[in-house]
Amino acid sequence: MRQGHFAGNRRKTIARTGKIAFALAICAMTTLPGIAAAQAAWPSKPVRIVVPFPPGSFTDLVARVVSENLSKSIGQPVIVDNKSGANGVVGVGEVARSAADGYTLLVTNSSSITINPQLYKSISYKVSDFVPITSLVESPFILVVNPEWAQKNKVGSTKDLLEYAKKNPGQLTYGSAGPGNIAHLGFTMLSKKSNVQTMHVPYKGASMAQTAIISGEINAAFDTWAALPHIQSGKLKALAVSSNNRMQQLPDVPTVEQEGVPDFNLTFWIGLLAPAGTPPQIIRRIHQATSQGILENPKSKTVLSAQGEIVIVEPDVFSQRINREVSGWRSLIKSENLTLD
């Protein structure tokens, strides 16, 4: 009787398991076509691109080029939505919490993705909250100094600048768009690799830091392409570029590495991302539309080339780059014990 009892229970368990499996199969059969249909129907409404910086910013300009081309390709309005605040944290965090359905995208800079999640004590997102689609534009920084200060202190090169810093510990002042900004960390990296002490002076934006150098309020900074007109007019003196290669616009200006600082490569990118979990089919569609729209549109190429080098890559290549940069910044932030509230 005991064997019969166990056998009866076993038959009942198998029956219940079979019913559950059947129910799950029916659920899958009804759900999967629904998901597939939703993906196939994309886009059936306007798409929103969140830019975590103000209108008129470098990132905003790039986003508007993307929105124009993407809209033409997919046949739906693509709206740029500026959600600025907290060095990009506000807007990026909003996208991280958005539905992964292809209707909310993010155009942002490298700092907000590779630096902020490691720098801020409390932050509403992490790198894994996003799926990379492609980088768009990449730009090196230009190491600039106030020309009058440079002449007075006989600073005509990066080597001279670092020699001044060695002889005057803590007196070389440099500015950035704020604590934790990539230009701040870049100069921190330069100081660390050169074994010199420098003083960081944060400002509320890159333009304010640039104005401070021109006026002589501070000595130096890593500036963007926006410095070119001031370099050409003589208001700023360029000592080096931060990338591996010289800039076409400044062929006589060496790289930082050529000036004797080993393994120094600092570049700034603007990229396109989506919330993690966005269907691969939609990611591929967005990538294709974006890359073709930019690379086959002379007007778009002209606008973006004025901001930096156009760098369109596959999603997995962009993902690998992000992971490398996260690792590098993590090491520097940890070694310098840098944190922001």
C-alpha closest to that of 143 among 245, 253, 269, 252 = 253
Same domain, 66 and 214: no
Q: Among residues of the chain, what percentage have pLDDT more than 70?
A: 88
pLDDT 10s digits, 205-223: 888 999 999 999 999 999 9
- The verdict on 166 and 254 lying in the same domain is yes
Residue type, 48: R
Express each pLDDT in 322-335 by its tens digit. 999 999 999 999 99
Residue-level pLDDT at 341? 80
Phi-psi region of 228 (alpha: psi -120 to 50; beta: other; left: phi over 0): alpha
Interatomic CA distance for residues 145 and 218, integer angstroms: 8
**Is a pLDDT exceeding 80 seen at residue 232?**
yes
The tokens for 97 are 């919490």
Query: According to the model, what pLDDT value does residue 58 have?
Result: 86
What number is the average pLDDT over the span 166-192? 94
Contact 157, 259 (CB under 8 A): yes
Does any domain span residue 273?
yes
Q: Does 29 have pLDDT greater than 70? A: no
Quickly count: other Cβ atoms within 10 Å of residue 231's Cβ: 18
- The pLDDT assigned to 22 comes to 56
Query: Could you tell me if 250 and 279 lie in one domain?
Result: no
Q: Say which CATH number the domain at 112 has.
A: 3.40.190.150
Where a domain ends, among 218, 240, 259? 259
Mean pLDDT taken over the chain = 90
Confidence bin at 142 (pLDDT 50/70/90)? very high
Does a structural domain hold residue 100?
A: yes
Residue 291 belongs to some domain of the structure? yes
Angle in degrees, CA 90, 96, 97, rounded to 5: 95
Structural domain contains residue 242: yes
pLDDT exceeds 60 at position 20: no
Same domain, 186 and 228: yes
Q: Is residue 92 part of a domain?
A: yes
Q: What's the CA gap between 158 and 14, in Å, rounded? A: 76
Residues 132 and 277 in one domain: yes
pLDDT band for position 31 (cuts 50, 70, 90): very low
For residues 125 and 274, membership in a common domain is answered with: yes
How far is it, in rounded angstroms, from Cα 55 to Cα 51? 9
Question: Are 129 and 233 in a shared domain?
Answer: no
Percentages helix, strand, coil for the chain (3-state, rounded to 5) are 50, 20, 30
Residues 158 and 225 in one domain: yes
In angstroms, the CA 12 to CA 259 distance is: 79
The structural domain count of the chain equals 2
| Residue that the structure tokens 């799926």 belong to | 131
Domain boundary among 259, 279, 307: 259
Domain that holds residue 98: 47-136+269-335
Q: What is the DSSP string of 142-186?
A: EEEE-HHHHHHTT--SHHHHHHHHHHSTTT-EEEESSTT-HHHHH
Angle in degrees, CA 224, 225, 229, rounded to 5:
120
Same domain as 322, residue 296: yes
Residue 155's domain is classified under what CATH number? 3.40.190.10
Query: Of the residues 209, 224, 259, which one is the last residue of a structural domain?
Result: 259
Residue 11 lies in a domain: no
What are the DSSP E strand ranges found in the chain? Answer: 47-51, 78-82, 104-109, 130-140, 142-145, 173-176, 199-202, 220-223, 237-241, 267-275, 309-310
- Residue 17 resides in a domain: no
CA dist list (Å): 141 to 64, 247, 256, 258: 23, 10, 10, 15
Residue 1, pLDDT above cutoff 70: no
Q: Is residue 28 part of a domain?
A: no
Q: Are residues 217 and 287 in the same domain?
A: no
pLDDT at 321: 97
Residues 180 and 227 in one domain: yes
230/162 same-domain check: yes
